[in-house]
């Protein structure tokens, strides 16, 4: 597969260049992303691999990938949504003669980026049914070939046809299969690094290198792995047991005597480079530079070194005037536990509970996303000694974002700033016997009261009222205090997930100070739950309560009396000619509703979109049919003003620009239409925003002839660029007319449409 980056790169990217010693450069913000587009929001702090091409320096964190243009300092974020085929990069290597960058991934996939623009995917090794480590370890170039080191031997890639032309694996003693950690060709021999030393074979077209008899030991290491081979002049260099060695005419000699992790060994036109903490040694140039912590390094053609520490700070340029760090905006880590589902700020918690709901001591903290920029772990006196951030919520009446912890309290945010902290000093929250405060759920009711679950407390349910006072509630059932995942429906019933299984529903009645009108009920598989292992509960704005379990979905539609005869429905639907339960037996981890009241459901098998009343599944996104980086999704979030759906996967955060957004209640002063103009090369959806839910949208030409008609999803509608009969309209100024559902409001807009060439 070949992909051109020119057609898929995001041209307007967030640029955040942090200068450690030299100040701060300017920041630019991107335009609205097209409806239906994906974006990765990954952590770029821990650079583990970096490599320079003729124009860029490429950097790979555990999941994130980006490049810096050397001449302008511009940062471009790269990833699966740009056409790359893997996620976790384990090898970067540049061939200056062919101007191509070799990219190897942990899952065995291989991309070759030609001229910094064209992606050639080589999936042969990735597709092999091998059990074990499929990481790409090392790449060595030889004319029109790339020799690729893997746990299952050595691959030979044809760089003219971009395919695997050969592989050597049974090349150990007596023909056993051995891992290869590096390779190079020196003079007329091919050398490979193995667990037991360095093996060599003649490099000759007439030699069958799959015959183990052609391989011999050049050096035996007594069980110490020889890694990252490089040739320079008449010698071979490698590292073993944290020391770099030179191999020459059958003898080895150490280059450094003090044991330090070797960050990298490579050769280029400027000589041979050996990098380890404290030192960059250039053997050909006979120079040595000092460097502190370093995990990976490269050198641009002008002689400047770039490196990553493997801990933080992103990609660092070792400029003579001071070290400069390049770091795209992103979350502090790739961990995500819960996200806010409404509001115009997305608050994500990094996580912090074990399977038994104990402390995991996760120090990732929290991340807030607003207008394309991430703000992490805000430095504030109230944000001290807090970790294991867990549940998050948006309180609409106060416009607060709230983050709970599994450590010592709750943080309150407004407009991206911390404004308060609730703990044992100013609220009914109490420390457990182990000294921790476990806050296990937060939700706002229809009146603006904020409810909190205090896991394991005698009075596990707390309420912070609109007047600023606190109330506590004992739930009337012995032992029912290990509760989490609080959700409140339209009737102000409190739905809580029981740690021991099932659901507890509670309503405090009209008199909050009296127990006499309290109501509660336990819901389990005996009441119709698909499974007692409940993961998430979502109460939508129609009055339905959607329950996601590890074995499928239940819906409470209001049928039956909740506290006496509740009916938990597993919807039966017909789809694609089959009849079965809506969502089948999927392990549903989180649910949210969008501006069109459709349901987004995250699972361990991808992301699902369900129609408002559960009639059918509209979309099922997986890694195989979308840029989704992982099918294992833990949580979902949403930003109302854009309609972006965020998903926290086990490999990091992504967003999808949905075709629905929150209904503002009335038309905005000026509806937005984008892109505008619509260029002939554009093939995505044209988006109309600033609408009301179910508004009727008509698109006409300048003469008033109807081209297309649709309804809004929340505050947004989309058009695929075709007439109702499937044909493409002529170029010109097109008009958009919108009328709300009852006909009391209308709005108008216009945009330029340029017909694609035939």
Confidence of residue 23 (pLDDT cuts 50, 70, 90): very low
Is residue 147 one of the residues assigned to a domain? no
- Closest residue by Cα to residue 98 from 157, 159, 183: 159
Contact status, residue 484 vs residue 455, Cβ threshold 8 Å: yes
> What is the domain-level CATH number for residue 392?
2.120.10.30
Q: State the residue for tokens 């029912």.
A: 480
Angstrom distance (rounded) from CA 167 to CA 177: 12
Q: Tell me which of 474-483, 630-639, 703-712 is least confident.
A: 474-483
- Same domain? 377 vs 455: yes
- Same domain? 460 vs 497: yes
- Same domain? 703 vs 607: no
Angstrom distance (rounded) from CA 56 to CA 300: 8
Q: Tell me which of 37-51, 73-87, 215-229, 475-489 is least confident.
A: 475-489
The pLDDT of residue 702 is 87
Strand-pair partners of 199? 192, 217
- Same domain? 623 vs 647: yes
Is residue 642 one of the residues assigned to a domain? yes
Q: Tell me which of 112-126, 384-398, 570-584 is least confident.
A: 570-584
More confident residue, 702 or 453: 453
Check whether 622 has a pLDDT greater than 70. Answer: yes
DSSP annotation of 607 reads E
The pLDDT > 70 percentage for the chain reads 95
Angstrom distance (rounded) from CA 146 to CA 507: 67
Q: Domain of 581?
A: 540-662
Helix (H) or strand (E) holding 717: strand 716-719
Angstrom distance (rounded) from CA 689 to CA 692: 9
- Same domain? 554 vs 691: no
Task: Give the chain's length.
Answer: 758
Angstrom distance (rounded) from CA 232 to CA 203: 17
- Same domain? 516 vs 637: no
- 6 three-class SS: helix
- Same domain? 643 vs 689: no
Angstrom distance (rounded) from CA 278 to CA 244: 14
Is residue 687 one of the residues assigned to a domain? yes
Angstrom distance (rounded) from CA 264 to CA 297: 7
> What is the domain-level CATH number for residue 550?
2.130.10.10
The pLDDT of residue 628 is 95
- Closest residue by Cα to residue 443 from 392, 408, 483, 409: 392
- pLDDT per position as a tens digit, 345-354: 999 999 989 9
The pLDDT of residue 16 is 34
- pLDDT per position as a tens digit, 532-571: 999 999 999 889 999 999 999 999 998 778 998 888 989 9
Query: DSSP for 588-600?
Result: EEEEEE-TT--EE
**Average pLDDT, whole number, for the chain?**
90
- Answer with the one of 463, 496, 523 that is the final residue of a domain: 523
DSSP annotation of 527 reads G
Contact status, residue 247 vs residue 75, Cβ threshold 8 Å: no
The pLDDT of residue 746 is 85
The pLDDT of residue 758 is 63
Task: Please count the structural domains in the chain.
Answer: 3
DSSP annotation of 127 reads H
- Same domain? 658 vs 677: no
- List, in order, residues 6 or more apart from 645 with CB less than 8 Å away: 592, 594, 600, 636, 637, 638, 655, 656, 657, 658
Please give the C-alpha separations between residue 696 and each of 505, 638, 691, in angstroms, as whole numbers: 39, 25, 9
The pLDDT of residue 478 is 67
What tokens were used for 398? 């106060």
Check whether 12 has a pLDDT greater than 50. Answer: no
What tokens were used for 381? 């006196």
Angstrom distance (rounded) from CA 246 to CA 250: 10
Is residue 611 one of the residues assigned to a domain? yes
Query: DSSP for 252-274?
Result: EEES--S-----EEEEETTEEEE
Confidence of residue 32 (pLDDT cuts 50, 70, 90): low
Is residue 575 one of the residues assigned to a domain? yes
The pLDDT of residue 31 is 52
The pLDDT of residue 542 is 86
- 124 three-class SS: helix
Is residue 463 one of the residues assigned to a domain? yes
Query: DSSP for 653-684?
Result: EEEEE-S-B---SS--SS-EEESSSB-TT--S
The pLDDT of residue 85 is 93
Strand order in the sheet with 75-78: 49-52, 56-60, 65-69, 75-78
The pLDDT of residue 7 is 44
Check whether 386 has a pLDDT greater than 60. Answer: yes
Q: Tell me which of 7-21, 210-224, 253-267, 602-616 is least confident.
A: 7-21
Is residue 424 one of the residues assigned to a domain? yes
- Answer with the one of 662, 697, 727 that is the final residue of a domain: 662
- List, in order, residues 6 or more apart from 48 with CB less than 8 Å away: 60, 61, 62, 89, 295, 296, 308, 310
Angstrom distance (rounded) from CA 151 to CA 172: 13
- Same domain? 658 vs 676: no
Q: Tell me which of 388-397, 604-613, 663-672 is least confident.
A: 663-672
- Answer with the one of 492, 523, 554 that is the final residue of a domain: 523
Angstrom distance (rounded) from CA 122 to CA 520: 59
Burial of 549 (0-12, 13-18, 19+ CB in 10 A): buried
Question: Would you say the pTM of this structure is higher than 0.75?
Answer: yes
Check whether 480 has a pLDDT greater than 90. Answer: no
Greatest mean pLDDT range, 212-221, 469-478, 742-751: 212-221
Please give the C-alpha separations between residue 414 and each of 345, 349, 409, 591, 623, in angstroms, as whole numbers: 9, 16, 17, 24, 35
- pLDDT per position as a tens digit, 732-757: 899 999 988 878 788 888 999 988 87
- List, in order, residues 6 or more apart from 460 with CB less than 8 Å away: 453, 454, 473, 475, 480, 481, 482, 483
Confidence of residue 24 (pLDDT cuts 50, 70, 90): very low
- 213 three-class SS: helix
Number of other CB atoms surrounding residue 444 within 10 Å: 20
Q: Name the CA radius of gyration of the chain, rounded.
A: 29
Angstrom distance (rounded) from CA 567 to CA 528: 7
- Same domain? 584 vs 544: yes
- Same domain? 499 vs 411: yes
Query: DSSP for 43-55?
Result: --SS--EEEE-SS
Contact status, residue 580 vs residue 573, Cβ threshold 8 Å: yes
- pLDDT per position as a tens digit, 123-181: 999 999 999 999 999 999 999 999 999 999 999 999 999 999 999 998 998 899 999 99
Angstrom distance (rounded) from CA 149 to CA 194: 10
- pLDDT per position as a tens digit, 313-367: 999 999 888 899 999 999 999 999 999 999 999 999 999 899 899 999 999 999 9
Query: DSSP for 472-504?
Result: EE--SSTTTT-EEEEEE-TT--EEEEETTSSEE
- Same domain? 682 vs 657: no
What tokens were used for 277? 């903490």
> What is the domain-level CATH number for residue 698?
2.60.40.4070
The pLDDT of residue 440 is 96
Angstrom distance (rounded) from CA 397 to CA 394: 9
More confident residue, 510 or 28: 510
Confidence of residue 8 (pLDDT cuts 50, 70, 90): very low
Is residue 286 one of the residues assigned to a domain? no
């Amino acid at each position: 597969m070949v992909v051109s980056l020119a057609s898929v790169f995001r041209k307007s990217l967030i640029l955040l260049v942090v200068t450690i010693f030299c100040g701060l450069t300017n920041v630019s913000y991107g335009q609205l992303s097209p409806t239906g587009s994906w974006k990765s929001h990954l952590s770029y702090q821990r650079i583990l691999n970096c490599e320079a091409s003729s124009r860029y320096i490429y950097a790979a964190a555990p999941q994130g990938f980006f490049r810096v243009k050397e001449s302008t300092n511009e940062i471009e974020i790269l990833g699966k949504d740009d056409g790359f085929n893997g996620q976790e990069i384990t090898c970067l290597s540049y061939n200056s003669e062919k101007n191509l960058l070799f990219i190897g991934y942990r899952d065995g996939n291989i991309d070759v980026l030609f001229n910094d623009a064209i992606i050639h995917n080589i999936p042969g090794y990735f597709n092999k049914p091998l059990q074990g480590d499929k990481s790409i370890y090392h790449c060595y170039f030889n004319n029109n070939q790339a020799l690729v080191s893997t746990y299952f031997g050595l691959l030979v890639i044809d760089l003219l046809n971009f395919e695997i032309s050969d592989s050597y694996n049974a090349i150990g003693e007596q023909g056993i299969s051995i891992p290869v950690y590096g390779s190079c060709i020196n003079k007329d021999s091919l050398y490979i690094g193995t667990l037991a030393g360095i093996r060599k074979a003649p490099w000759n077209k007439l030699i069958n290198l799959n015959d183990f008899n052609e391989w011999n030991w050049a050096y035996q290491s007594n069980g110490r792995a020889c890694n990252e081979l490089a040739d320079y002049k008449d010698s071979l260099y490698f590292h073993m047991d944290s020391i770099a060695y030179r191999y020459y005419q059958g003898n080895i000699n150490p280059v450094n005597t003090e044991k330090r992790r070797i960050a990298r060994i490579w050769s280029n036109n400027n000589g041979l480079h050996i990098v380890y903490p404290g030192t960059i040694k250039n053997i050909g140039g006979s120079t040595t530079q000092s460097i502190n912590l370093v995990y990976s390094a490269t050198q641009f053609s002008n002689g400047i070194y770039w490196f990553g520490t493997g801990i933080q700070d992103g990609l660092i340029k070792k400029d003579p005037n001071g070290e400069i760090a390049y770091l795209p905006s992103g979350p502090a880590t790739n961990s995500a536990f819960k996200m806010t589902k409404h509001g115009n700020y997305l608050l994500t918690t990094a996580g912090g509970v074990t399977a038994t709901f104990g402390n995991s001591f996760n120090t990732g903290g929290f991340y807030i996303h607003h207008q394309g920029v991430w703000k992490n772990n805000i430095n504030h006196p109230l944000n001290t000694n807090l970790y294991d951030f867990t549940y998050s919520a948006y309180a609409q009446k106060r416009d607060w974002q709230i983050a709970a912890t599994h450590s010592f309290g709750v943080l309150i945010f407004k407009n991206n700033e911390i404004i308060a902290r609730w703990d044992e000093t100013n609220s009914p929250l109490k420390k457990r016997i182990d000294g921790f405060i476990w806050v296990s759920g937060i939700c706002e009711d229809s009146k603006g009261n904020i409810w909190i679950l205090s896991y394991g407390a005698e009075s596990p349910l707390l309420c912070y009222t609109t007047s600023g006072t606190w109330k506590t509630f004992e739930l009337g059932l012995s032992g029912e205090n290990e509760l989490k995942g609080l959700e409140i429906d339209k009737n102000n019933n409190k739905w809580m997930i029981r740690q021991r299984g099932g659901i507890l529903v509670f309503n405090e009645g009209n008199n909050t100070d009296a127990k006499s009108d309290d109501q509660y009920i336990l819901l389990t598989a005996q009441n119709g739950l698909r499974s007692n292992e409940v993961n998430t509960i979502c109460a939508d704005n129609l009055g339905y309560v959607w329950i996601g379990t590890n074995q499928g979905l239940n819906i409470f539609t209001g049928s039956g009396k909740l506290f006496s005869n509740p009916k938990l429905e597993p919807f039966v639907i017909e789809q694609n000619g089959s009849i079965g339960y809506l969502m089948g037996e999927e392990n549903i981890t989180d649910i949210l509703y969008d501006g069109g009241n459709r349901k987004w459901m995250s699972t361990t098998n991808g992301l699902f979109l369900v129609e408002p009343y559960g009639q059918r599944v509209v979309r099922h996104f997986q890694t195989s049919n979308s840029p989704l980086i992982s099918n294992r999704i833990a949580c979902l979030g949403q930003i109302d003003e854009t309609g972006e759906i965020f998903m926290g996967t086990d490999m990091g955060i992504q967003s999808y620009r949905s075709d629905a957004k929150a209904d503002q209640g009335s038309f905005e002063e000026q509806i937005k239409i984008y892109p505008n103009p619509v260029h002939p090369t554009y093939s995505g959806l044209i988006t109309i925003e600033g609408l009301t839910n179910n508004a009727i949208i008509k698109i006409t030409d300048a003469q008033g002839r109807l081209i297309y008609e649709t309804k809004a999803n929340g505050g947004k509608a989309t058009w695929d660029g075709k007439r109702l009969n499937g044909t493409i309209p002529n170029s010109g100024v097109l008009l958009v007319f919108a009328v709300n559902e009852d006909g009391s409001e209308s709005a108008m807009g216009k945009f330029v449409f340029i017909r694609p060439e035939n």
